[in-house]
Structures are given as structure tokens and as C-alpha cells.
Chain A
Amino acid sequence: MSTLLAVESVSWAVEQQKILNNLSFDVCRGDIIGIIGPNGAGKTSLLKCLLNQYKNWQGSIKLKHKNIRQYKPHELAQTFALVVQKSPPIFDLKVYDVVRMGLLPYKTLFARDTDIDKKEIMLALDKVGLAANENKFFNTLSGGEQQRVLIAKALVQKAKILVLDEPTNHLDIFYQHQILQLIKALNITVIMTIHDLNLAAQYCNRLLLLNKGNLVSNSSVNDVLTPELLTKVFGLPCYRDDAQHSDIPRVYFSPAPDESITHMSNLSTNNIGQLS
């Protein structure tokens, strides 16, 4: 597979505190890459550097052999589509309006929507199974449906790389699998941050394990999800279960209380004792 994105020695710091430290990896066409790691590992920061949303990152990110800093913002938007929803929109946007935003990188100032644009929007909604909901308010949809609307927007954006920040957050098990199945079925390159390691194992073909801004491992699911690595990075005893009927490993953590947890629990017990 040909390399689409080449990340070389990327670092990013805020007021001398290193958030990302010398990261290098390639993204090939058709990859589904999961970025995993504990909170504060630099997962979202890495996504933002890839999208060139931070200005002061160092190193080199090449998209089709050209530095992403040399691309104009609308050209980058034609390649990367970000699927993220941190807070609900304040105003009552309709599903159609949200998907329509995907046209933006292709439109000049003053340009109106054409009939072809409208067909594309409907086609994208159809692909994510929401063709009947175009007139509904985005805010009234379930979390899973909202994610699908945002994916439809990315499809209208005709992006080559789909970038997702925690796409399964706040979703129940059914919607988690529905969203990831949909993403896999789209057959485009995907880079996503994801907390659930077993979901990552099931749907990604490569994982980047980050810890404190460093790239600990960049390899296949089997090679990254090892008890040794995960125990070291997450600070909890990790076990792996290689099911016989499947080649997808499953990992689970044992919440064995370490010294700090025992200490905290003692503290809270003492406090309660003092209060009573």
C-alpha cells in the first residue's frame, strides 16, 4: 500500500512542556489506525497537529510527499475530514444543514448549492442510513445518529482521510459497534483516537500506543496489545485472552489495589470517621 501521510519527528510543546515528543510514523492508503493511550498521552494533540490546527508544532508531516504547511486550508479540508462533537450546537441546526457544511472546501465565496450538491448530501445521508431524517433537528438525534450525521458530512467533504476523536464516547455498546462498522465499511483511510482497547483491536488494523507524548509502539494489533506494554503504560496489571475462534486479542485489566489506592481509601475512611 502506498504511503499517504508521512509523520517525521513531530513534537509539540506548550510553554516548554512537551506534549508530543519526536513522533514518527506513516499512514498508508486504506489503513484504519487507532491511537490509544492513557489520558494526557497526547492523542488529541497528535490529531490536531495532523490537521495543522496548531501552528507551532515541529518536525515534518507530509501529505502525498508535500509538507502539510504548504497546503491551503481548503486543500487540507479536501483531504482530512474531522469528526468531532464536543458540545451540542446552540441553535437548532437541521441534519441537512450539518451535512451541507461538507461542501465548504469546494465552494468559492458567494457560491450557491447546485442540484448535484443536494444529490450528494442525500446520497451521503443514505450511506449512513439517515436519509429519512434530513429534516430533523441535529440536537434531537441520539449520540450514535449524531456521529453518523457527522460522518455523512465527511463523505460530502470527499475526504481521503477520516479523522475521529473518540467516536465511541458516550455511546452504548450497540451504537459503538454500529459506528465502527460503518467507518470500516466506508473503505477509506481512518485515523482515530479510541479509549476502548478491545474495540480498537476489533476494528483497527494498526495501533499507535502513546504515553506521555512518546510513541511507545506502532504496529499491528497483536504486537501492540501485549500485557507487558499495556501494564507499563496504563499502570494496571493487564491480561490478554487470545480466543480460539477469533484472531482478535482481548485484553482486560485487573484493578488490584496498589499502594496509592490503598492510601486513598484509608484517607477517605479516616475522613468519614472524623466527620461522624
Chain B
Amino acid sequence: MNFFRVIKGKNAWIFSGMIILTLFSIVMSITFGPATITSNDIFQCVVNECASPMHDMVIWQIRIPRVLVGLVAGMGLACAGAILQNVTRNPLADPYLFGIISGAGLGATIATLILSEEQMLALPLAAFLGALFSVIIVFGIATLLRNMNHLLLTGVAVSFMLGSISHFILYLGDPFATNRVIFWLMGSLTRVEMFHFYLISIMVLLTLVTIFAFHRQIDALLLGDESAASLGVNVDKLRIILLALCAAVTATIVAYCGGIGFVGLMIPHIVRQLVGVTTMPLIVGSALIGGCFLVWVDVLARSALSSVEIPIGIITSAIGSIFFLAIMYRTRKTG
């Protein structure tokens, strides 16, 4: 019986480390940016009153919302990736493979053409609807094919289809609108507000609660559909619930933060090495590490170049693509 205590103890240490890292990342990341803010300034602002109105504004109005949105967006994307990989038993699955990003892109493209400059607040909503539209199409086609295993392949196909429609509209449309859509698709946390944090938090919380409820069923899927069904799991229903949940959380994040790719692919792989492959530790670990990762990528995005911010999606995609190749290399070596 010692084994259980050892594992429990080992995982307890790892999770404690992750929680400390997350808290440290939240506090420290607030200090990075064009305006100089020290950890003392943050401490003073939180415990007492800020030293100056400038500190008050930068910390409460700009940095904290940004860091918190980065945190929950990272959590949501990493959790969605982890669920998707376990549910489809595909280590290369990523929430963006549903065609969500191209769906959101199409929504944003149409919105830029229809809406005036003042109505651009509706862009996230249009992107969300576009993402949802793409998910519904992907699900519809996979259902028609009667094969949920083809869901990701369907996602890739739909992604190309919606992408080409967007490009066609942009090609015919206004060059300024094109710029706006392209920059938005690159992903950024520059314009986020506390409201976005609350909204994304609700979706992430909903995802976590659902996963905690169904963690045994998801674990059972790891041995195959047939085996899971023999354990009393309604495989098709469970898969649809979880995929819809992943799609909803990703679509919400994409709507407010733009295209931030590869977080959902990378983070679960790292976490599996640390805490194992079963759903509960994987999801909790992915949420914590995913949150930290995006917080620090955003720090890099806003402080790497002094004159300009780098879109966050460019950095995650650059890191992610190298990671993707590394996984394939590793699989080649071990397989």
C-alpha cells in the first residue's frame, strides 16, 4: 500500500509546485510591460492604496485584466486540448483542428464588411458565431459519415473551406478590413477587459466541473470505444458532450483573444510527463501549466520589442510548431 502514498505524495508535490508557479506567474507578470511597475507597487496597490493614479490605472485597468484573461484563456485552451486528445485518442489533436479559428475568421471577415467602425464592438460576437457555425458543420458532417473518429479530419477539411471563403471575401473587400481581420486572427490580449475574464472563467469552470464529473468515463475511452462501452459508457453521447464543450470554450476564447494556436496541443503533452495520463490529474495540471504558459507568452509579447507588441498567436504558433516537430521526432525514435 506504500505505493499509493508515494504516488499521492509525488503528485501532491507536483501540484503544489504548479499552484505556486501559477501564483508567482500572476504576480510577476504584472510587473512586465512598458510602464515600470515593481512587485512592491503591486503589493501596495492590493493591500493599501496605489502610490500614484498612474499605478492605479496601469495595474487595475490594464495589467491585471490582461494577466487574468491570459491565465484563463491558457487554462481553457490547454484543458480543451487535453480533453480532445484523450477523447479522440489522438496525441496531435488540438481544439483549433475543429475549424474553429477559420470559422471565427469568417465571422470576423463578414462583420468587418457589414458593420461600421462604431459597430466593431460586435466583432467578437461575430467571431464566436462563426466559430460555432464551423463546429456545427464539422459535427454535422461527422454525424452524416457516422464516424466520430473522422471528426478531426472533417475539421481540417472544413477549416480549409471556410478559410478559402474568408480569403475570397477579403480579396474582393476593403484593404483596411483585411488588415483588421488579419491582425485580429494573429491573437492579442491588448484589448481585453475584466468582463472577458469573467466570461471565459465561467466557460473554463463549466469545463472543469464536467470533466470532474465524467473523469472515469473519459479514462475508460483510453482503452478503446468497445472496452468503454462494456463498462457502461455511452461512448457517442459522451464524445459529443465533451467535443461540444471543447468547442464552446475555445470559441469563447477565440472571440475575445483571437487565434492563439498550439497551446492545446503542447501543454497536455508536458503535463502527461509530469502527472500521468488519467483525466483528473491531466486536466488539473493542464489548466495550471496552460495558464502559466500563456501568461508568460503574453509577457514576452508585450516586452520583447520595445516599440511594438508582438501578436501572442505568432509566439505560441512559433513555439508550438517546433514542439509539434519534436513530438513527431520522439514518436519516430520510440516507435
Contact = CB atoms under 8 A, between A and B. Distances in A.
B232 A76 contact: yes
B90 interface: yes
Given A104-B233, A105-B232, A98 B223 contact: yes
A103 B227 contact: no
Nearest to B7: A135
A101 to B, nearest CB: 5
Contacts of B90: 90
Contacts of A157: 231
Interface stretch (B116-124, B250-258, B272-280): B272-280
Nearest to A157: B231
Interface stretch (B13-21, B73-81, B179-187, B209-217): B209-217
A74 B232 contact: yes
B4 A118 contact: yes
A237 to B, nearest CB: 36
Contacts of A119: 1
A92 B268 CA distance: 13
Interface string B282-317: 000000000000000000000000000000000000
Contact of A101 (B3, B91, B213, B216): B216
Interface string A13-49: 0000000000000000000000000000000000000
Assign chain A's interface to a size class.
35 or more
A87 B220 contact: no
A101 B232 contact: no
Given A94-B276, A103-B216, A110-B213, A73 B233 contact: yes
Given A109-B214, A110-B212, A122-B1, A93 B230 contact: no
B49 interface: no
A77 B232 contact: yes
Contact of B277 (A97, A101, A110, A135): A97
B89 interface: yes
A91 B216 contact: no
Contacts of B276: 92, 94, 97
B86, B226, B230, most chain A CB atoms within 10 A: B230
A80 to B, nearest CB: 7
Given A97-B277, A98-B223, A110-B212, A91 B272 contact: yes
B234 interface: yes
B224 to A, nearest CB: 6
A189 B143 CA distance: 38
A53 interface: yes
Given A118-B1, A118-B4, A91 B231 contact: no
A104 B220 contact: yes
Given A73-B233, A77-B232, A103-B216, A89 B222 contact: yes
A144 to B, nearest CB: 17
B223 A90 contact: no
B277 A53 contact: no
A135 B3 contact: yes
B74 to A, nearest CB: 22
Interface in B252-274: 272
Contacts of A197: none
Contacts of B212: 110
Interface of A: 51, 53, 72-78, 80-82, 84-87, 89-94, 97-98, 100-105, 107, 109-111, 118-119, 122, 134-135, 157, 163
The 3 A-B residue pairs with the shortest CB-CB distance in the complex, in nearest-first order: A82-B230, A77-B232, A74-B232
9 contacts: A86-B224, A86-B226, A89-B89, A90-B90, A92-B276, A93-B222, A93-B278, A105-B232, A157-B231
